[in-house]
Structure formats: C-alpha cells, structure tokens
Amino acid sequence: MSAREPADDPASGATPRRGMAFRKYSKKPLPTPDQARRQSHVVQCAWRHFGEPGPVIAFLNTRHEGLEGQPLHLAIESDEGLARVETLLSRMTLETRPEARICE
C-alpha cells in the first residue's frame, strides 16, 4: 500500500485538487487591435506571395538583412514596418511574376 497524499486525505483539511484549469494564464500582454490588424495583413500578404505555409512561416520568422529584422516583428511594431515588409514582398513578387500584385 502506498502512503496517501495530504490532499487525498479528507481528515487533513486540505482542499482537494480539481483537475486542469480551463485557461492558461500568461503574463504577456495581448496585442492591441492595431497590432492584430497589422499581423493579419502581413500574414495575408505573405500567403498571397508564397501560397504555401512552409515558406510563409520561414519568411515571416527569419531575419531579413534588407529589413534588418524579422518581417513579422517589424510589421507588428508599426505601420511603417508593415509598409517596409509589404514593399519587400511586392519587389519579390515583381521579380518572379511581373504581372502580379499581392499587397493592396
């Protein structure tokens, strides 16, 4: 027989555990509505350019020397950063498909 834990013993007065919590609490602040809008826009723009999840994820999360940072972080930070990432994606698209326009 094994020893009982204090929470399992009703005579101990300890409150029994109730199972897993429904919410995970984080100390990180939620994005502002503007940050969420910019994130959505840059992801859609990158998706239109690449068309597949792997390249989109790699592009957004990898440091780009021309931008001097990660495209996703720059786009979320400010409208100027978003415009810089859109410009880069537009240039990349024009090099591969001159007739296409992806960021509008």
DSSP readout, the chain? -PPPPGGG-GGG-PPPP----SS---SSPPPPHHHHHHHHHHHHHHHHHH-SHHHHHHHHHS-BTTTTB-HHHHHHH-HHHHHHHHHHHHHHHHHH-TT-----
Q: Per residue in 23-52, pLDDT tens? A: 677 788 899 999 999 999 999 999 999 999
Q: What angle do CA 96, 100, 104 make, to 5 degrees?
A: 125
pLDDT classification of 92: cutoffs 50, 70, 90: confident
Per-domain residue ranges of the chain = 30-104
Q: Per residue in 47-68, pLDDT tens? A: 999 999 999 999 999 999 989 9
| pTM metric for this prediction | 0.68
